[in-house]
Amino acid sequence: MYKVEAIVREEALEDVKEALFAADIRGITVSQVMGCGTQMGYTQVVRGSVSSMTTLPKIKFEVVVSTEEWAQRAIDAIMGAARTGKVGDGKIFCYPIERAIRIRTGDEGIEAIQPGAPEE
């Protein structure tokens, strides 16, 4: 199992969500987060005073999938939907998951994230 995390621009929310659904990826978690990378925020003038915002609002997607192939499918969908080619498009992280447990039933492994899936 793999977890794919993506931090993208706020305006990419709907496009990324639709791209994941179109790729037949379900079970996503979406959070509003703040962060900075290369952009390092921005400076604005508020009531005559210069104010620096060192973090920017972003959207974080989290998806857990069964195989490396599905992880790549999620990455491709996110990249296609979120990439503008400009600084601040975001980052994608992918890493293996040791264990997944469905709280309601106690199912573990792939069965916990995709009921009815054959075990590998």
Q: Where are the domains of the chain?
A: 2-113
pLDDT tens figures, 49-62: 766 667 788 999 99
Query: Is the pTM above the cut of 0.85?
Result: no
Do 61 and 29 touch, CB atoms closer than 8 A?
Answer: yes
CATH among 3.40.50.970, 3.40.50.720, 3.50.50.60, 3.30.70.120 for 2-113: 3.30.70.120
Distance CA 107, CA 49 (A): 56
A 10 A CB-CB count for 53 gives 13
Tokens describing residue 27: 């079970």
**CA distance linking residue 39 with residue 80, whole number of Å:** 21
Nearest to 81 by CA among 70, 93, 89, 71: 89
How do residues 1-25 score in pLDDT, each as one tens digit? 999 999 999 999 999 999 999 999 9
The one-letter code for the residue type at 81 is: A
